[in-house]
Structure 1
Amino acid sequence: MQKTRLSYAVLAALATTPTLAQEANTGAKLETIEVTATKRTESIQDVPVAVSALNGETLENLGIDSFQDYVEFLPNVVFQGTGPGMNEIYIRGAATTQSNIMLSSVQALQPSVAFYLDEQPVSMAGRNLDVYATDIQRVEVLPGPQGTLFGASSQAGTVRMITAKPDHSGFAVGFDSNIGFTKGGEMSNAVEAYFNMPLTDDLAVRVAAYNDRQGGWIDNILNDPGNGGYIGSAQVISRISGGVLTNPAEMDANRITNPAISSPEDADVVSPRNDSLVEDDFNDAVYAGARFGLSYHINEDWDLLVQHTQQTLETEGVFAYDPNLEGESSTNRFQPEENNDEFGLTTWTLEGRMEKLDMVYTGGYLDREIDTLADYTGYTNGGLFSAYYVCSYNASDDTSEDRCLDPTKFFREDTTSTRSTHELRFNTTMDTPWRVTAGLFYDNQEVATVGQFNIASTELFPDMARTLVGNEGINSDGGPFPADISFINDITHTIEQVAVFGQFEYDITDSLTASVGARWYQIDDEYKGSTSTVDVSRRIRAFGTMDESELAAVGLNPTLVNEAVQSGQLQVDLLDSDGVLSVDDTIWKFSLDWKVNRDILLFANYSEGFRPPVTNRVGGGLATNQSGKFENFRIPVYSTTDTLDNYEIGMKGDFFDGQVRVNATAYYSEISDLQTSRFDPTNISFLVFTDNVGDAEIRGLDADITWLAADDLIISGAFSLLDTELTSVNSELEGISAGVGSELPYSASFSGNINARYFFEIEGDMRGYVNGSVSYTGDRLAGMVMDAYVMEDATQLIYGTGSGLKIEDEGDVYEGVTYSDSNGETFRGGRYVQEAYVLANLAVGVTNDEWKAELYIDNVFDEHAILNIDTQQFTPKVVTNRPRTIGIRLSYDYY
């Protein structure tokens, strides 16, 4: 049967099938897009690795502007974080606890998933670049280790956003506009535009610009201590400060001089006020930016592409609600909160064709600046020195003066990040049964930050004016800082990497191909700077030299440190005398693929991925709490490299004369020395540090199915099955982290989606369509630490009510071992559960070859999904999705 032009429109809208192949007697069939997953341009169905891809037209059809939206259609991918510009990507369950980037972006783990914009890696520890998806050619997701071709941080996968390039064939211009109305929230609006123009036969330019204002829906309500609001608890303050409010001797030792205070109940807590900050829908986000591209045909064999992207992301408020308050859109915040994130990225690619080789030299320079102002009142709920910083005790007889003062606090951080990369690679083009891809890679990253904490009451400390250790700042003048600033981080983190990589493919027969890939790398990691209490540079150098006088000079006992090193408790062998941490290794990939026939491909792969070590600012320090599991505990000088070994088999096939496509991959992964971030100020240190929690195993199955059900109907779906578990746990973390046999955080055992798009003819050249999608995400555990019951206890005391969140009880994993706080009080071990949710979207529109008008409903059933449970404020906060949003999209393209 001859297919109509309507069928062509249907296929053009499909995620992985933007074009159509027409064959005699067979009609229309699914055709694949071209991808560069192996750094060669190939059909997605011929690449012997699992790849998911959406082309630009499909991104537009699905209303996708951010990677968070894209994740709805990728069941094996998780987007975890606290709001725009503050998220981490996890693939296939290889997830761990990342540090709260609000506290210090300079001490975060390296990501386990690499993020690329075109050829350039733009990942950043703890805070991936949040690139707005305008004028995009396609997005590729490569699950599983991709380290041999894409390097460090491609441990669990790689995400590539491929932009539309200047087109020499002719003039084109277009725009997209969107206005949306969110239930219980503010209106949102966006406009995007592009134009493409050949300036000469050999020179073309393309410009894209956008502005997207996303209205808020979270309300900062008046703090009402009688209705779930912040009451405050001297009992919590006393407990986390070591019980000083019940011990006169401890009170004296901490400058608390009134012996009339014999219990926490005698010290009233001043409930903070937020009258001036009460505001509905205060979590706004604005993306604005432009991209400029210039393409030059130097001659018939050589091409040059230069692009520059400039973007600002401004947010106000927070994207999480307080579960102790009524409703699912209310919070209590006591300080103004804002985040300004701006980056400029310049990239260049020179491609040439020699007699037997294709050559590519590509490079880029990223300059990013982030200014953050955040409410840090939660430090009172868990900071080790809370009683000292917050509570006031007078030696007078007037005990009404004895109280814990207003706990309101703030945090301000200025971070500058730069990254320059260069890659030179070659691909053979000879007509032989073998092919080679080989290259050199260089990467230099620097993250420089000045973090200023207000954690002490200005009534108690009116002239604090903190100065850095040694009065020497790396990124600042070292002080004195403003009088209300009580703690400083002034740190620069530099990572330099060189690598040599290659992949060799050999056609054993016409249908059977074997390949081997390898990558040798060397990474130098260096921390410099100071905090208010630690000379970081000197401390790390002292561990590099193990010089006893230097160890003593930074406040460490040389004898005890040497004993910890000799026993293996502390590792320092990767540090040189300048305090630079160096690591080098070679990782491998082996694969075998069999083209059964022109429609079916089978493949098997073994691949390795890694994340480099991370140096700790406070390495070697003893835990403040020296009881139980914390006895003799020392903070690691650095977390060691964690590695992922992956085994997978897969199939890619078109069936029923090209009407049905099924791609599926089964895999088994082993993670060794899994890195995690730790923030445990009540027991160890109020500085974030990294550690290795232990080993883990992951088993899973990914599949996607596409069905050309009729001339005018396309149905596609995908699902992921996961089974994750910790197989061993660092003995020093037993009773603290989840135990052996426990699931890894953030990833559901089952998730999936289905999407259907139906076209129908209208008068003239117009076509109508209806698009619907449903996605399901199962229960997921929050974090690696079993601290949920501790958080619930604090929440009950501080707010007068619990959070109501579901908890997975995991105390029996350790046969009765319970979680203890710094005062020796024990709690059951448990982790919060991020409960399952279903999201549904619906759209109906009219289109022709140039314009489109669409009415859409996102989150049709107004689901308030639990995307993340953030416990870094010592009471849980729930990051949620946007409520039901109804809107209109208009677009026009002329070419």
Structure 2
Amino acid sequence: MSKKSTVTRPLTPAGEDARRAGGFARLMALGLGSFLCASLPPLAAAQGAPQPSATQDSTAAPDADADAGDAGTMNPAEAPSAAGPQTAEAVQSTAPSADDAQVVPTIAVPQQPAPVPATEQTASSPQIAEVIVTATKRSENVRDIPASIAVLSGEDLERRGAQDTADIVKLVPGANVTSTGDSPQRVTLRGISSDIGTSSTTGILFGNVSFTEAWAPVVSLDPNPFDMGSVEVLKGPQGTLFGASALNGAVRYVPTPPKFGEYELKWFGQYTSIHEGDAGPSYGAAVNLPFGDTLALRVMAFDRDSPGYIDNLRTGKKDVNRTDQKGARALLGWRPGDAWDILLTTAWQETDLRDVGIADNDQGRLETNDRPRASPNHTQYSMADLAVTWNGDWAQFVSDTSYIDKGGHNFFDASSRITGNGALSLTAQYYAGDSSTVGQEFRLVSVDDPQKRWKWVTGIFGWQQDVKNTLSVPLAVDVTPLATIIDALNLGPLSSLFNGSGSPVVLQTVGDVRIRELAAFGELTRRLGDSVELSLGGRLYRTQSGGQNAQSGVYVLAQQGSSPYVIDGEVKQQGFNPKASIVWHLNDDILTYGLVSKGFRVGGIQTGLTSSFGRSAAPETFKSDTLWNYEAGIRTQFLHNTLRLDLTGFLVDWKNPQSLQPDASGLSVYIDNVGGVRSKGADLSLQYLFPWAGLRLTNSVSYADTVTTKPFTTAAGDIYPSGTNWPLAPKWQTASTLSFLQPAGDWLLGGYATYTTIGKTVPTFGAHKIFGYHQLDLQFSVANARIEWLPEIALIVNNLTDERGITNAFTSGVPSPALAAEEYYYITPRAIGIRLMGRFGD
């Protein structure tokens, strides 16, 4: 913040034993691979030497170092240092130079200093390092940005053994993640949550590429953090720069780009065992290959075997919710001339969940006895992004072209939702969906010269997304002879009451929708004197979402008098999304800011339908919703930048929120707009570097009171007055980490203890309480840079106290309490893992 700082499939028991032994073997093979690679010269940076790099970002300040990465826009060489161990003192950092900049939090999020050897000493006093981000589509010191942004470094997430979004989000108070067995996971920021089946209120970005479906969600982005430069959590609307994909914020994954003129190989192997559950390995590797000084390729691949911990007593299978996940990323950087940078980014990931992790009780027993069939889930995505950048003397021009293909299908055993105890395999939910998205953005970004009063970014954006999905609820009853007779008699409408297997269809929806957005955006900043910056920005946009939803089945025949019943429609909207902010540097150590911003989300045709249990008819379309965010904050640093204390207050006003309305059966739902929601609260964060080398404390607290502002009646006939707590909006969340890094001769010992808490809330109106738990995670690591073949070794214990926290709950059934089904989702029990990590290179 200081202007003087540098901006820097099931198995037999024998098969299970063989798989576990294979996991250990793969892990040891990685260790042996480390030994065999010892003949490669160690990284120069292992001794604290600066990394070779190409020309710096022309949009950064003259003394700025490479930023935290930006897939699609940043220069390939401008990565945060992927160096191995540094000196212990360098981890704490002196006043950061252009060669030792680190990714550290703006809002205090728990992080551990990177393990380093104790071979060099620095004479300067330790200070909290600065971090550069590109979340605003230009390189900026994150503490100078008038917005709430939490940044977690990829290196820190690797050492924590983080594997998915849940491992990341729990470190950021004010953010939570939840999922169910029949829908993608959802991230909530500041209590502004999205319902199942609705477009997410929190955007998920890979670099500058949005992975959010603007209609019914198909697959959520959940990349492995390995070889990720950083993960940024942006609180508040991001509509000016990212459009309809980030109504109230975004989680932005920034991969490590290729580096020119430098060979690098890094790897990891991790083996995790879960209390009262299974065990399994995860491993991966990344390689950076230079081809001369102007071309470089960086490739990453991983394979994750995530252990299960839920037992299905009805089928007799244990640890059924096992996940098999694999993926790869490749980034090709080319610098054809001094002013040109070209970056091609590709990624692919595939995830197989063998069975949903649902328990049938809220007493902490990790078991279910009401599911006679497995509920597997398969998802995959692939993406490509081409960014062409021209760096001029006065501005940077960027062309960013992206394509995403996603698909998924799952079978969800819903027998218990009809029979209560699941004694009969009666019903199921089968879902299949795919989406394809193409985007193009052209933008100009001014060169940020501290001597000039103006800086700006402007651009145009076009985006198209096609979403197709099928949701079918058949009865597990074979009436093939009846279906055959109907077909023979050419009774066309009645044929829609049966599926291809001859089973009666209770209900089915088939959606085919196209969404488009065209926009022009810009943001202009004026420096007023030496201490004040005033920014105005906005996005002029036009959206349209339309297509058809064909409904069929017994429910539809009873409700509409025909089957199939087809809804055709389109929702068009145009508008202006404004943003204004002011920043005042009271002095080099204190900054205050104010921000007003707006977000929006696209409407569309109805994704659901009305059943005979509903109290009201489903509208054929649902409207767009909008959100205004007002916030003010103060950021301070004291004691020679070893203590930081930040406070942000916010008020969010959400108009016409899209809400999923289930009927009493729990099998039929539709989307409607339900009035208004208001969230008000604050974020408080503290960071402190102790005088003793390597000891750091970070603590952050978030409070959000999120309630409805207008009364409304649900599809089931329940009336909720204004002031009702909004779902998935806990009032309190905290995260605290005490980390250390201590040299012992040539060895470096490191570790952390992270304690997180989250308050109680409900997943849907009137539902069972969820959350309301705490979690303690520990890690201890040892490294020695002088023993080249020795990998860094870390022992990781997550959920040390084996807390049985509930992250989601669902109660359903035909309208009779005796037949109601209960479904609960628990956090992962105590998990103990060992992780080996190595790195070799020029």
Structure-2 separation of matches of 1:884 and 1:625: 42
Structure 1 counterpart of 2:142, which letter? Answer: I
Partner of 2:203: 114
Q: Supply the distance in 2 between the matched residues of 1:129 and 1:85 (Cα, whole angstroms).
A: 13
Give the direction of change, closer, same or farther, for the CA distance of 1:836–1:687 in structure 2 (3 Å limit).
closer
**Alignment match, 2:58:** none
Letter in 2 for 1:316: R
Whole-angstrom distance in 1 between the partners of 2:716 and 2:181: 32
1:95 offset after TM fit, Å?
Answer: 1.8
Is 1:776 the counterpart of 2:760 in the alignment?
A: no
- Give the 3-state SS of the residue equivalent to 1:69 in structure 2: helix
Match of 1:484 among 497, 503, 517: 503
The alignment status of 1:502 with 2:540, answered yes or no, reads no
Do 1:754 and 1:773's aligned partners in 2 also have CA atoms closer than 8 Å? yes
Counterpart of 2:658, as a letter, is Q
Amino acid of the residue matched to residue 9 of structure 1? Answer: V
Residue identity opposite 2:445 in structure 1:
N
Deviation sequence 1:231-251 (CA, Å, 0-9, x none): xxxxxxxxxxxxxxxxxxxxx
C-alpha distance in 2 between matches for 1:888 and 1:484: 48
Residues 8, 84 of structure 1: alpha-carbon distance in 2 compared, 3 angstrom cutoff: farther
Partner of 1:791 in structure 2?
none
Whole-Å separation in 2 of the counterparts to 1:769 and 1:426? 44
Residue 871 of structure 1, CA deviation: 3.2
TM-score by length of 1: 0.75
Matched, 1:442 2:459: no
- Equivalent residue, structure 1, for 2:263: 171
8 A contact 2:738–2:752 mirrored in 1:
yes
2 CA distance for matches of 1:72 and 1:326? 21
**8 A Cα contact 2:712 2:719, kept in partner:** no
- 1:676 — aligned with what? 659
Query: What are the residue-to-residue correspondences of 1:762-801 with 2, within 5 Å?
Result: 762-764=744-746, 766-784=747-765, 786=766
Q: Following the alignment from structure 2 to structure 1, what is the Cα–Cα distance between the partners of residues 633 and 184?
A: 34
Q: Residue 417 and residue 535 in structure 1: after superposition, are their counterparts in 2 closer, same or farther (change >3 A)?
A: farther
Picking from 17, 37, 54, the partner of 2:152 is 54
**1:480-629, aligned counterparts within 5 Å?**
481-484=500-503, 486=505, 487-533=507-553, 579-617=569-607, 624=612
Task: Figure out how many residues of one structure are paired with residues of the other and give that number.
Answer: 718
C-alpha displacement of 1:437: 0.8
1:363 paired with 2:382, answer: no
Please name the residue that 2:355 is paired with: 317
Aligned structure 1 segments of 4 or more residues deviating by more than 4 angstroms: 10-20, 22-26, 459-462, 464-467, 469-472, 476-480, 533-536, 551-556, 731-735
Deviation at 1:729, TM superposition (A): 2.1
Q: Is the 8 A contact 1:183 1:885 kept in 2?
A: yes
Equivalence map 1:630-669=2 (5 Å): 630=615, 633-669=616-652
Alpha carbons 1:84, 1:130 under 8 Å: kept: no
Question: 1:618–1:741: structure 2 CA closer, same or farther, 3 Å change rule?
Answer: closer
Alignment of 1:406-421 (within 5 A): 406-421=424-439
The 2-side partners of 1:165 and 1:458 are apart by 55
Offset of 1:131 from its aligned partner? Answer: 1.9
Determine the C-alpha separation between the residues in 1 that align with 2:131 and 2:590: 16
**Structure 1's 835 and 426: CA in aligned 2 closer, same or farther, altered over 3 A?**
closer
1:199-348 pair list within 5 angstroms: 199-222=291-314, 277-323=315-361, 327-348=365-386
Could you tell me how far apart the structure 2 residues matched to 1:184 and 1:512 are?
57
Structure 2 vs 1, CA of residues 674 and 450 (structure 1 numbering), >3 Å: closer, same or farther?
closer
CA distance in 2, matches of 1:115, 1:194: 23
How far residue 580 of structure 1 moved from its aligned partner, in angstroms, is 2.4
Give the AA of the match of 2:838.
Answer: Y
One-letter amino acid of the counterpart of residue 155, structure 2:
E
Distance 1:36 1:707 in 2: 25
Out of 709, 729, 737, the position equivalent to 1:747 is 729
Structure 1 regions of 5+ residues with no counterpart?
A: 100-107, 223-276, 383-389, 391-403, 540-550, 557-574, 787-830
Deviations 1:380-418 (A, max 9, x none): 259xxxxxxx9xxxxxxxxxxxxx993532232322211
In the alignment, the residues of structure 1 paired with residue 754 and residue 713 of structure 2 have an alpha-carbon distance, to the nearest angstrom, of 46
Residue 794 of structure 2, aligned match among 851, 854, 857 = 854
Matches of 2:363 and 2:800, distance apart in 1: 25
Deviation at 1:37, TM superposition (A): 2.0
Question: 1:132–1:287: 8 Å Cα contact kept in structure 2?
Answer: no
Q: Using the alignment, how far apart are the partners of 1:381 and 1:481 within structure 2?
A: 24
The separation in 2 between residues aligned to 1:324 and 1:59, in whole angstroms, is 31
- Are the counterparts in 1 of residues 354 and 376 from structure 2 also a CA contact under 8 Å? yes
TM-score (norm 2): 0.79
Structure 2 segments unaligned to the other structure (5+ residues): 1-47, 49-85, 94-101, 814-819
Return closer, same or farther for 1:364/1:848 CA change in 2, 3 Å cut-off.
Answer: farther
Contact 2:497 2:554 in 1 (8 A): no
CA deviations over 1:41-66 (Å, ceiling 9, x no partner): 11111112111001111112222221
Q: Tell me which residue corresponds to 2:445.
A: 427
Cα distance 1:43–1:605, how it changes in 2: closer, same or farther (>3 A)? same
Q: Are the counterparts in 2 of residues 410 and 453 from structure 1 also a CA contact under 8 Å?
A: yes
Alignment check: 8 A CA contact 2:712 2:721 kept: no
1:554 to 1:220, Cα distance in 2 relative to 1, 3 A:
closer
Contact 2:806–2:826 (CA<8 Å) still a contact in 1?
yes
The answer to whether the 8 Å contact 2:509/2:608 transfers is no
CA distance in 2, matches of 1:768, 1:143: 34
Q: Distance in 2 between matches of 1:31 and 1:669?
A: 31
Distance 1:593 1:452, change over 3 A: same
Alpha-carbon deviation of 1:324?
A: 6.8
Counterpart of 1:168 in 2: which secondary structure? coil
Whole-Å separation in 2 of the counterparts to 1:479 and 1:458: 10
Higher radius of gyration, 1 or 2: 1
* Conserved? CA contact 2:294–2:336, under 8 Å: yes
2:177 maps to 79
SS at structure 2 position matched to 1:636: coil
Contact kept, 8 Å, 1:471 with 1:479, in 2: the verdict is no
Q: State yes or no: 1:136 paired with 2:228.
A: yes
1:891 aligns with 2:837: yes
**Structure 1 counterpart of 2:823, from 874, 877, 889:** 877
Q: CA deviation at 1:19?
A: 9.8
Deviation (angstroms), 1:445:
1.1
Q: Secondary structure at the match of 2:804?
A: coil
Distance in 1 separating the partners of 2:838 and 2:719:
53
Residue pair 2:161, 2:796 contacting (<8 A) in 1 also: no
Backbone CA RMSD of aligned residues = 3.4
3-state DSSP class of the match of 2:674?
strand
Name the counterpart of 1:69. Answer: 167
C-alpha displacement of 1:655:
1.2
Q: Are 1:713 and 1:758, in contact at CA under 8 Å, matched by a contact in 2?
A: yes
How far apart, in 2, do the equivalents of 1:8 and 1:84 lie? Answer: 47
1:7 maps to what in 2?
Answer: 89
- Report SS of the residue matched to 1:152: helix
Q: Percent identity between the aligned chains?
A: 23
* C-alpha distance 496-534 of structure 1, shift in aligned 2 (>3 A): farther
State whether residues 306 and 322 of structure 2, in contact with CA within 8 Å, keep that contact through their aligned partners in structure 1: yes
Residues 628-651 of structure 1, C-alpha deviations (whole Å, 9 max, x = no match): xx3xx3322222222111110012
Which one-letter code corresponds to 1:593 in the other structure?
Answer: V
CA separation of 1:319 and 1:724: change in aligned 2, threshold 3 A: same
* AA in 2 matched with 1:39: K
CA 1:335 to 1:731, structure 2 compared with 1: closer, same or farther past 3 Å? closer
State how far apart, in whole Å, the 2-side matches of 1:32 and 1:465 are: 73
